[in-house]
Chain A
Amino acid sequence: MNSLYMPKDSLIHSLDPRTKMIFVAFVVASSFIMNDPALQLLLLVALFPLVVIAKLVKPYLISIQFLLLFAVLIMTVHGIYNPIGVTPVFEIFGGLTFKYESMVYASVMSFRILVIGTGAVLFVMTTHPSDMASALVKWKVPHSFAFILLSTFQIIPIIAREAKIVMEAQQARCLDVKGNIIQRVKNLVPMFAPLFIITFMKVHQLSYVLECRAFSRKGNKTSLRETNIGSLDYSFLLGMLAVLVFEIYLKLFMMGSLQLTTDALLTYSLIGTWVVCGFMLIKFLFKRVQGKVGGVN
């Protein structure tokens, strides 16, 4: 309830958390093996059906927006200013030219962010935190360590809620939170001091609560939520293995002859991210204006 987990009934949700953890590792590995913009774009596109299967298209798009913002910044700034670039590809106004090498570099970097982001979102949104913990325990990870991970996931929303209350409480003490930059930096103290104290108190309390419920008892613990590796998991794992082998093969033997990355691809992907970001910006502004207009009535 208070994590990023989105309960849905789908194939991805029913996979064992261990499979999904391996999947995340696989995605990270792939994004480094295929350090070529075209192949990475392919990877990103290939991951999308999984998002569809998990029935998470809308929340996925919402969360990936922010990563896309990074991508645009990296691609634009690096594309123009990164000194490794020598071959000009195209020029925009004012003599700013995008260079081939730097565009490749920037694309690889930003696509990697998107690919890993997609993998992570898929994992976090489809895995119940306690399933993750019990899966870790099955991997012989010490129970307390699994719990640390689990409670970290769960304490983030709690801290966020407390932060909001602290901010309101300080505003009630005439603190102006909408000041200039210097003012805002100064405001960090009245914001974070109570927040730290409260968080420490909560964690301290939690440790007592855990002790009261025999947390440190030795031996195996039963879990209410059972996770099992089934045939679905095996086929998924096999699929991943196959793709990984293919990727390595591609990387080792075909890289010389295969040249997918072209000027056009780079340019279009750059313009593509611009368009999407522009669209997001317009939507954001539209909402703002709508809020203002609505507020007056």
Chain B
Amino acid sequence: MKAQTNNGEGAETMQPYMSVKNVSHVYPNGVTAVKDIDLDIYEGEVVAILGSNGSGKTTLVKHFNGLLTPTKGEITVGGLNTKKEKISKLSSLVGYVFQNPNHQTFLPSVRKELEYGCTNLKMSESEMEERVNKAIELFELEDKLEDNPFDLNSSQRKEVAMASIMAVSPKVIVLDEPTTGQDHKGCKRVLDLVRMFKEHGHIVVLITHDMHLIGELNCRTIVMNQSRKIADDQADIVFSHKGIMKEAGLQPPQITSFANDLSNLDSSKTYLTVDSILSWIKENKEKKEEAVQIGSGS
């Protein structure tokens, strides 16, 4: 498996930030949820994890901050072996946003919610101030600071939960199904946030069933099926691979299927978004016009 980064270069020489070596996890009840996974995640990457229900996605990412430890193999995060470190320490490196914000939030105001992680890490007052303010700015929460999280609507509450994780400014942020149950605006917001996290130098790991979201990001995509990793590549390459998509029971974004089915399109390329198809059509049109002009000129 070749490691890929979004900017595509320098990956070979760089040390991975997070490294999963031959990891399996068997739950106490005997269910093998993750089997023989190898995975390197590098600085600056956005990694999407795809797969049907019960394929082991959540189990895999719970290993990243030590909530679970591998029953076979090992994981290093920022040079630390997850088996030997406290979860609280690992959680300051890898922020994990749970799917249901109700499991995470419990304090009476958004500001307290944001400060909570920092107080757990026994940060100095000034450092906490700085980090919390950064999160407030990033999530544009200035006018909600004194609100009770339970008075906010579900997508806002999700955002507060995310902000409270980001407030300790972990290197990696893991989002477990962030767009599930969100309206269009909420989904768009998640997309913007992911891009923003990347810009700010975070690694983003994203579990999702939202093919559209992955299409927009066109990020590195890992496909899980029956506890195993069956694909690990750029989204357009994974989406164009019919065998893998079928095996994992995935359906690429409609526009991709559409483009694949239009036989006269340039089949060496996979189109993930409406915009990319539009620009391709425009390009073709221009070419045609050029050809017509040349034709009429002679």
Contact = CB atoms under 8 A, between A and B. Distances in A.
Contacts of A193: 106
Interface in B30-73: 62, 65, 67
Given A168-B67, A295-B83, A174 B105 contact: no
A172 B106 contact: no
Contacts of A166: 103
A178 interface: yes
B168 to A, nearest CB: 6
Contacts of B225: none
Contacts of B165: 172-173
A178 B86 contact: yes
Interface in B61-107: 62, 65, 67, 83, 86-88, 91-92, 95-98, 100, 102-106
A289 interface: no
Contacts, number: 67
Nearest to B150: A197
B103 A169 contact: yes
B116 interface: yes
Interface of B: 62, 65, 67, 83, 86-88, 91-92, 95-98, 100, 102-106, 116-117, 120-121, 150, 164-165, 168
A174 B91 contact: yes
Given A175-B88, A201-B102, 6 more contacts: A172-B67, A172-B87, A174-B168, A177-B87, A193-B106, A198-B103
Given A172-B67, A175-B88, A178-B86, A194 B102 contact: yes
Contacts of A190: 106, 116
A173 B231 CA distance: 31
Nearest to A297: B72
A197 B83 CA distance: 32
Given A178-B86, A295-B83, A172 B102 contact: no
Nearest to A193: B106
Contacts of A198: 102-103
A190 B108 CA distance: 12
Contacts of A165: 98, 100, 103
A194 B88 CA distance: 19
A154 interface: no
A263 interface: no
A27 to B, nearest CB: 32
Contacts of A201: 102
Interface of A: 162, 165-166, 168-178, 189-190, 193-194, 197-198, 201, 295
A295 B82 CA distance: 12
B104 A173 contact: yes
A172 B86 contact: no
Contacts of B106: 189-190, 193-194, 197
A169 B104 contact: yes
Nearest to A197: B102
B128 to A, nearest CB: 12
A169 B97 CA distance: 8
B116 A173 contact: yes
Contacts of B98: 165, 168-169, 172
- Which of B67, B120, B150 gathers most chain A CB within 10 Å? B120
Contacts of B91: 171-174
21 contacts: A165-B103, A168-B62, A168-B67, A169-B103, A171-B87, A172-B67, A172-B95, A172-B97, A172-B98, A174-B91, A174-B117, A174-B120, A174-B121, A175-B88, A176-B87, A176-B88, A193-B106, A194-B103, A194-B104, A194-B106, A295-B83
Contacts of B120: 173-176
A173 B88 CA distance: 7
A174 B86 CA distance: 9
Contacts of A177: 87
Contacts of A295: 83
A172 B96 contact: yes
Contacts of B116: 173, 190
A174 B88 contact: yes
B121 A170 contact: no
Contacts of B87: 171-172, 176-177
A68 to B, nearest CB: 23
B146 to A, nearest CB: 19
A172 B117 CA distance: 9
Contacts of A162: 103
B92 to A, nearest CB: 6
A235 B87 CA distance: 58
A178 B165 CA distance: 20
B61 to A, nearest CB: 11
